[in-house]
Structure 1
Amino acid sequence: MSASRTAAWFFDFVSPFAYLQLEQFGRLPSTLTVELRPVVLGALLNHWGQKGPAEIPAKRILTYRHAQFRAEQLGIRYRMPPAHPFNPIKPLRLAIAMGGSLDAVRRIFRHIWRDGHEVASPQGFAALCEAVGFPQGVIAVEETSVKQALRAHTDHAITLGVFGVPTFAFDGELFWGEDATALFVRCLESGAWLASAEVRRISALPVGIQRG
């Protein structure tokens, strides 16, 4: 357990569950290095032919309630922004322009999901840049290199099979969702569970039927 290891964490600021998982990073082993990778959830959904939770009316309501419940259950400060879903592109680019550090990403997430601010309008985004101490972000997010980096992160996620956020990618395995945090920590502690006979069996089950 003493050896240093690295995992990639794919996230989009539009996801409340990404915020909730980020606030639990203290549960991760101190020997784990996490590389933060902002991606465009909409592009992942389009690639895999999926609808987002907010695009299905009943699921949208349940998703918001579940996120609120999980925040209360975990004791994490939480307040939804005034409208959701919102366009996360500029906040994602802002994280890249700020260097992609954990501190920068956390500040952006907390502005949106802890303090409940709107960030999609020009005024809201400018306020976000001010709040995170990077007012030049209003201009920086339009740089070609920043746009290309976000596209590259998203494309790389797709090549790994990432289909949603938040997702940890570690040692060839994907761990999707805030509710997979405990599973991810368990597998970091020991590979025995993934290597168990039953997990290997269910991971190789044949497809029984497909929708036409």
Structure 2
Amino acid sequence: MQGSGATLTWYHDFISPFAYLHWPKVRALMQTHAVEVVPILFAAVLEANGHKGPAEIPAKRTFTYRHVLWQARRRGTPLRFPPAHPFNPLAALRLAVAAGNTPEATTAIYDWIWAQGRDAGSVEALAPLLRELGVAADALGSDEGKSTLRANTEAAIAAGVFGVPTLAVGSDLFWGDDAHAFAVSVLEEPSLLAEAEMQRVASLPVGVRRA
């Protein structure tokens, strides 16, 4: 557990509308703290943890889509789903890497997908955005870009990341847009996770396991 001197890392995938909602908070945090922004492939994280994504469970898919729309409307944040979801996010992730993983590029890609509701499932669909960001289409297929994304994802899995978006404060993981205030509290008050009950629940015995 670490406080104001902790390393901050934000793991995200453009496939997540909750990451889109979380990104402005992370960008605001970057005004006062150094935050490493790490694009990762959410599908590989799900595979590593033996999980289904929320969009892979029909009833959860409907609830999730409606819930995120409701949250966006409450905040006054424009949100329009792309033509299909889930979509293949590899082109968007590789575009972020090719564009230098800058905050400006990250914002542009999120806005393309989630504010404008545009298709991001292929290099061809992203062509206008590539031109806007000054990235050549062949850069998205480069070995360097692919290896960077693979390394990012492997590092996230090694760190224990199980979902996106995740903000890591040191080695402590805070999953989801709704956990942002919790993460900031820990950042400002390093002793919070050292409290007795916080420590007890972290090592609570498992009472029963599914067969």
Alignment of 1:121-140 (within 5 A): 121-130=122-131, 132-136=132-136, 138-140=137-139
- Give me the whole-angstrom Cα distance separating, in 1, the residues matched to 2:94 and 2:30: 28
What is the CA-CA distance between 1:192 and the residue it aligns to? 2.8
Identity %: 45
What is the CA-CA distance between 1:161 and the residue it aligns to? 0.5
Of 75-84 and 23-32, deviating more is: 23-32
Q: Aligned letter for 1:147?
A: K
- Give me the whole-angstrom Cα distance separating, in 1, the residues matched to 2:5 and 2:202: 28
Q: Does the aligned pair in 2 maintain the 1:169–1:175 contact within 8 Å? A: yes
Q: Does the aligned pair in 1 maintain the 2:15–2:89 contact within 8 Å? A: yes
Establish whether residue 43 from structure 1 lines up as the match of residue 12 from structure 2: no
Q: Which residue of 2 is the match for residue 142 of structure 1? A: 141
- Give me the whole-angstrom Cα distance separating, in 1, the residues matched to 2:135 and 2:189: 44
Of 187-196 and 140-149, deviating more is: 187-196
Q: Does the aligned pair in 2 maintain the 1:39–1:92 contact within 8 Å? A: yes
Q: Does the aligned pair in 2 maintain the 1:4–1:32 contact within 8 Å? A: no
Gaps of 5+ in 2: none
1:145–1:135 CA distance, 2 compared to 1 (3 A): closer
1:148–1:29 CA distance, 2 compared to 1 (3 A): closer
What is the CA-CA distance between 1:24 and the residue it aligns to? 1.9
Q: Aligned letter for 2:208?
A: I
The alignment's C-alpha RMSD in Å is 1.5
- Give me the whole-angstrom Cα distance separating, in 2, the residues matched to 1:172 and 1:121: 34
- Give me the whole-angstrom Cα distance separating, in 2, the residues matched to 1:122 and 1:36: 22
**Partner secondary structure for residue 100 of structure 1:** coil
- Give me the whole-angstrom Cα distance separating, in 2, the residues matched to 1:190 and 1:30: 19
1:135–1:191 CA distance, 2 compared to 1 (3 A): closer
Gaps of 5+ in 1: none
1:36–1:87 CA distance, 2 compared to 1 (3 A): same
Q: Which residue of 2 is the match for residue 58 of structure 1? A: 59
TM-score with structure 2 length normalisation? 0.93
**Partner secondary structure for residue 152 of structure 2:** helix
Q: Does the aligned pair in 1 maintain the 2:105–2:133 contact within 8 Å? A: no
- Give me the whole-angstrom Cα distance separating, in 1, the residues matched to 2:10 and 2:173: 10
Q: Which residue of 2 is the match for residue 73 of structure 1? A: 74
**Partner secondary structure for residue 7 of structure 2:** strand
- Give me the whole-angstrom Cα distance separating, in 2, the residues matched to 1:31 and 1:24: 12
Q: Aligned letter for 2:133?
A: G
Q: Which residue of 2 is the match for residue 21 of structure 1? A: 22
Q: Which residue of 1 is the match for residue 121 of structure 2? A: 120
Q: Aligned letter for 1:96?
A: V
- Give me the whole-angstrom Cα distance separating, in 2, the residues matched to 1:151 and 1:25: 23
**Partner secondary structure for residue 37 of structure 1:** strand
Q: Does the aligned pair in 2 maintain the 1:97–1:141 contact within 8 Å? A: yes
TM-score with structure 1 length normalisation? 0.93
Deviations 1:63-100 (A, max 9, x none): 10111111112221211111100000011011001111
Q: Which residue of 1 is the match for residue 190 of structure 2? A: 191
Q: Aligned letter for 1:186?
A: S
Deviations 1:22-81 (A, max 9, x none): 022355274311111010000000011000000000000011011111111222121111
